[in-house]
Amino acid sequence: MRLKTVLAIATASVMLPTAAFATNGYFSHGYGTINKGMAGAGTALSQDSIAAATNPAGMAFVGDRIDGGLELFSPRREYSVEGGPSGQPPQGTFYLQPGTYKSDSNVFAIPHFGINHQLDDRNTVGVSVFANGGMNTDYSGEKGGPFYGGDTGVNLEQLFIAPTWTWKFSDNQAFGFSPVIAYQRFEAKGLQKFAPFSSDPDALSNNGTDDAWGYGFQIGWQGQITEHLRGGLSWRNILEMNEFDKYRGLFAEQGDFDIPQMFNAGLAWSGIEDHWIVLDVQRIEYSDINSVGNPMMPLTPGSLGTDQGPGFGWNDMTIVKLGWQWQQTPAQAWRAGVSYGEQPISEDNVLFNVLAPGVQEWHFTGGFTRTLSNGLEVSGMAFYSPEKSVKGENPLGPGQDIELSMHQFGVSASLGWRY
Q: Per-residue pLDDT for the chain (419 aa), expressed as one digit of tens each?
A: 455 554 454 445 444 444 445 589 999 999 999 999 999 999 999 999 999 999 999 999 999 999 999 999 999 999 999 998 877 788 888 999 899 999 988 888 889 999 999 999 999 999 999 998 655 899 998 888 999 999 999 999 999 999 999 999 999 999 999 999 999 999 999 999 999 999 999 999 999 999 999 999 999 999 999 999 999 999 999 999 999 999 999 999 999 999 999 999 999 999 999 999 999 999 999 999 999 999 999 999 999 999 999 999 999 999 999 999 999 999 999 999 999 999 999 999 999 999 999 999 999 999 999 999 999 999 999 999 999 999 999 999 999 999 999 999 999 999 999 99
Note the pLDDT of residue 1.
47
- Assess contact for 333 and 325: CB atoms under 8 A: yes
Interatomic CA distance for residues 283 and 102, integer angstroms: 30
Quickly count: other Cβ atoms within 10 Å of residue 7's Cβ. Answer: 19
- Assess contact for 381 and 333: CB atoms under 8 A: no
Task: Encode pLDDT of 69-114 as tens digits.
Answer: 999 999 999 999 999 887 778 888 899 989 999 998 888 888 999 9
Q: How many helices (H) and strands (E) does the chain have?
A: 4, 16
Note the pLDDT of residue 8.
52
Interatomic CA distance for residues 23 and 155, integer angstroms: 15
Task: Identify the three-state secondary structure at position 53.
Answer: helix
Quickly count: other Cβ atoms within 10 Å of residue 170's Cβ. Answer: 9
Which domains does the chain show, CATH number per domain? Answer: 2-418 (2.40.160.60)
What's the start-to-end Cα distance of the chain, in Å? 15
Task: Identify the three-state secondary structure at position 347.
Answer: helix
**pTM here?**
0.93
Interatomic CA distance for residues 39 and 28, integer angstroms: 10
Contacts of 8 (CB under 8 A, 6+ apart): none
Task: Encode pLDDT of 334-379 as tens digits.
Answer: 999 999 999 999 999 999 999 999 999 999 999 999 999 999 999 9
- Alpha helix (H) ranges present in 300-368? none
SS3 per residue for 134-194: CCCCCECCHHHCCCCCCCEEEEEEEEEEEEEEEEEEECCEEEEEEEEEEEEEEEEECCHHH
Note the pLDDT of residue 135.
59
Note the pLDDT of residue 105.
80
Interatomic CA distance for residues 368 and 382, integer angstroms: 10
Interatomic CA distance for residues 79 and 94, integer angstroms: 16
- Assess contact for 294 and 313: CB atoms under 8 A: yes
* Closest-CA residue to 35 (of 55, 15, 20): 55
Interatomic CA distance for residues 278 and 286, integer angstroms: 25
